């Protein structure tokens, strides 16, 4: 089984033009994909079509013969509504992708009555600024060519890696929900600055850039965060005093527990 088109101008149809669907549509369009999008709200589609090279479509079933990939970006509870009119009509040459949280690949296959390649992906909200962290799993029917297409799709909005499906709840707990944890960190650092007398707007800029710059350093140097931390920790200095406080109050244990709790919640919601 081969996909029709893996050239940069592959055509994708996105169903759901909300936060994630719109981010994917923009990222893919900017990367040279031909993008069509469908949403029950014609205004949302029209806005994307007006601003980007994206085609708004009212009848997804009519597009099926022309697409390389179909991407579901609706809420999990809307899967059956969008899948029913398409069930049994998708060619095995089309790659089906779902980003629906907590929705197993088998549920997508069943809802669509589809035996071809399906990729389940968990991106995060940073997709809107082309900086998503995505983990993906594929079913047995997914060809190597289709996996390459899935990689190209998610690398258009950030980074993407493969993982076994059973670990996608953990991915949800780490990078899916992770932006919310870091927003709290930025907010708390800002408040710390305000408490020490820095004007709020400046404190917010300093906190945000500190988180961004620190993440970039980890990424670009490839060094273990502990090494980078040691590099900025002067004996007897300010940083080690703060680190002692953070250790004392259990910052690391708290974050580990946050990922664990969110992972368990993701699994519980599916059941
Ligand atoms: N947001 C995240 O951080 C994130 C991260 C990873 C994965 N996800 C997953 O991504 C999916 C989309 O999330 P989101 O935040 O983008 O949701 P969203 O903003 O609610 O977008 C979904 C869009 O699909 C529309 N829709 C609903 N039923 C439809 C139908 N039958 N046909 C066509 N369009 C329909 C919705 O309209 P209404 O507003 O009227 O419902 C909305 O415009 C979810 O399954 C979520 O689990 C989200």
Q: What is the CATH number of the domain that holds 65?
A: 3.40.50.720
Looking at ligand 1, which residue's alpha carbon is closest to its atom 25?
A: 16
pLDDT, residue 59, reads 94
How do the pLDDT tens digits run along the chain, 271 residues long?
A: 444 545 556 899 999 999 999 999 999 998 899 999 999 999 999 888 888 889 999 999 999 998 999 999 999 999 999 999 999 999 999 999 999 998 999 999 999 999 999 999 999 999 989 999 999 999 999 999 999 999 999 999 999 999 999 999 999 999 999 999 999 999 999 999 999 999 999 999 999 999 999 999 999 999 999 999 999 999 999 999 999 999 999 999 999 999 999 999 999 987 7
Distance 228 CA to ligand 1 centre (A): 38
pLDDT, residue 50, reads 86
Structural domain for 248, as ranges: 176-270
Ligand 1 lined by 124 (C-beta under 6 Å): yes
Statement to judge: residues 142 and 186 lie in one domain: no
Distance 73 CA to ligand 1 centre (A): 5
Residue 87 placed within a domain: yes
Ligand 1 lined by 172 (C-beta under 6 Å): no
Residue 6 placed within a domain: no
Residue 238 placed within a domain: yes
Statement to judge: residues 50 and 94 lie in one domain: yes
Ligand 1 lined by 81 (C-beta under 6 Å): yes
User: What atom of ligand 1 comes closest to residue 76's alpha carbon?
Assistant: 45
Distance 85 CA to ligand 1 centre (A): 18
pLDDT, residue 217, reads 98
User: Structural domain tally of the chain?
Assistant: 2
Statement to judge: residues 140 and 42 lie in one domain: yes
Distance 226 CA to ligand 1 centre (A): 38
Ligand 1 lined by 80 (C-beta under 6 Å): no
Domain stops at, among 168, 188, 206: 168
Statement to judge: residues 161 and 198 lie in one domain: no
Say how far apart CA 107 and CA 80 lie, in whole Å: 9
Q: What is the CATH number of the domain that holds 214?
A: 1.10.3730.10
Statement to judge: residues 131 and 256 lie in one domain: no
Domain stops at, among 138, 168, 198: 168
Statement to judge: residues 138 and 88 lie in one domain: yes
pLDDT, residue 180, reads 97
Ligand 1 lined by 57 (C-beta under 6 Å): no
Residue 1 placed within a domain: no
Residue 4 placed within a domain: no
Statement to judge: residues 24 and 54 lie in one domain: yes
Statement to judge: residues 108 and 58 lie in one domain: yes
Statement to judge: residues 152 and 187 lie in one domain: no
Residue 5 placed within a domain: no
Distance 98 CA to ligand 1 centre (A): 11
Residue 111 placed within a domain: yes
Residue 57 placed within a domain: yes
Statement to judge: residues 105 and 140 lie in one domain: yes
Enter the pTM of the model: 0.92
Statement to judge: residues 82 and 116 lie in one domain: yes
Mutate which of 18, 36, 176 for ligand 1? The one with the most ligand atoms within 8 Å of its CB, which is 18
Distance 182 CA to ligand 1 centre (A): 23
pLDDT, residue 208, reads 98
Domain stops at, among 168, 193, 216: 168
Ligand 1 lined by 237 (C-beta under 6 Å): no
Statement to judge: residues 184 and 164 lie in one domain: no
């Amino acid at each position: 089984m081969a996909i029709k088109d893996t050239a940069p101008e592959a055509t994708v149809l996105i169903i759901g033009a909300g936060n994630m669907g719109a981010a994917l549509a923009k990222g893919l369009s900017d990367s040279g994909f031909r993008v069509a999008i469908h949403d029950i709200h014609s205004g949302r589609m029209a806005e994307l079509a007006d601003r980007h090279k994206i085609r708004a479509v009212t009848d997804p079933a009519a597009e099926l013969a022309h697409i390389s990939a179909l991407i579901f970006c609706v809420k999990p509870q809307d899967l059956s509504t969008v899948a029913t009119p398409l069930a049994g009509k998708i060619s095995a040459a089309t790659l089906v992708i779902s980003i629906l949280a907590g929705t197993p690949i088998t549920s997508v296959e069943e809802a669509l009555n589809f035996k071809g390649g399906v990729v389940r992906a968990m991106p995060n909200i940073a997709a809107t600024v082309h900086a998503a962290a995505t983990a993906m799993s594929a079913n047995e029917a997914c060809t190597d060519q289709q996996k390459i297409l899935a990689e190209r799709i998610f690398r258009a909005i950030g980074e993407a890696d493969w993982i076994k499906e059973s670990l996608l709840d953990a991915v949800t707990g780490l990078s899916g929900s992770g932006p919310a944890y870091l927003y709290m960190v930025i907010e708390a650092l800002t408040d710390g600055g305000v408490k020490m007398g820095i004007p709020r707007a400046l404190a917010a800029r300093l906190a945000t850039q500190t988180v961004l710059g620190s993440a970039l350093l980890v990424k670009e140097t490839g060094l273990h965060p502990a090494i980078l931390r040691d590099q900025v920790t002067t004996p007897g200095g300010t940083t080690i005093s703060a680190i002692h406080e953070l250790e004392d109050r259990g910052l690391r244990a708290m974050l580990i527990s946050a990922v664990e709790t969110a992972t368990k919640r993701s699994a519980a919601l599916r059941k």
